[in-house]
């Protein structure tokens, strides 16, 4: 999604700082998250326990500064990887892309149930990008970022 369709316009540094804050505590950024606790950290990574739609999960989060945050599920009914990437769009503007590759326990590959799950997740991630950008803008306007 294009980043600077709303006001105020965000810099890459502000967007990156917002993604770092979201990795530490996604609750203000994502409606589906109700709790998060960082339980370990190192250089360019952290391990967090969180609650998503009532399910207790865990992720290892790694950082590629100014470019990408990778979330690798270590405990979940939907195991896999989620990426938050700052990208350059075809028109040269800055974009934010969320992608996911998840395997859900009990869903057969290629099934209608898997397709329905993928559709729900896609809609959820579009909302996630929008709410993430809205929270980063709110923090910029409030002088918090």
- Over residues 111-118, mean pLDDT: 82
Express as a percent the part of the chain with pLDDT over 70.
100
User: What pTM was computed for the model?
Assistant: 0.88
Conformational region of residue 26, where left means phi above 0, alpha means psi within -120 to 50, and beta covers everything else: alpha
**For 53-109, how does the pLDDT look when each residue is reduced to its tens digit (9 = 90+)?**
999 999 999 999 999 999 999 999 989 999 999 999 999 999 999 888 888 878 788
With bands split at pLDDT 50, 70 and 90, how would you rate the model's confidence at 43?
Answer: very high
pLDDT of residue 102: 84
pLDDT of residue 135: 95
Express as a percent the part of the chain with pLDDT over 90.
70
Contact partners, residue 58, CB within 8 Å, separation at least 6: 47, 48, 49, 50, 73, 74, 75, 76
Better pLDDT: 20 or 114: 20
Cα angle 126, 132, 133 (rounded to 5 degrees) comes to 95
**For 131-141, how does the pLDDT look when each residue is reduced to its tens digit (9 = 90+)?**
999 999 999 99
CB 10 within 8 A of CB 137: yes
Whether 11 shows a pLDDT value over 90: the answer reads: yes
Whether 112 shows a pLDDT value over 90: the answer reads: no
């Amino acid at each position: 999604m294009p980043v600077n369709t709303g006001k105020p316009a965000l810099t890459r540094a502000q967007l990156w700082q917002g993604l770092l804050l979201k990795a530490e505590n996604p609750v203000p950024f994502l409606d589906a998250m109700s709790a998060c606790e960082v339980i370990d950290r190192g250089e360019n990574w952290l391990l967090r326990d969180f609650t998503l739609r009532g399910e207790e999960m865990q992720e290892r989060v790694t950082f590629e500064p100014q470019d990408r945050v990778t979330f690798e599920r270590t405990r979940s009914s939907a195991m896999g990887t989620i990426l938050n990437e700052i990208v350059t769009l075809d028109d040269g503007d800055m974009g934010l892309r969320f992608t996911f590759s998840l395997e859900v326990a009990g869903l057969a590959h290629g099934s209608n149930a898997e397709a329905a799950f993928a559709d729900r997740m896609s809609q959820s991630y579009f909302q996630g990008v929008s709410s993430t950008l809205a929270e980063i803008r709110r923090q910029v306007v409030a002088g918090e970022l």
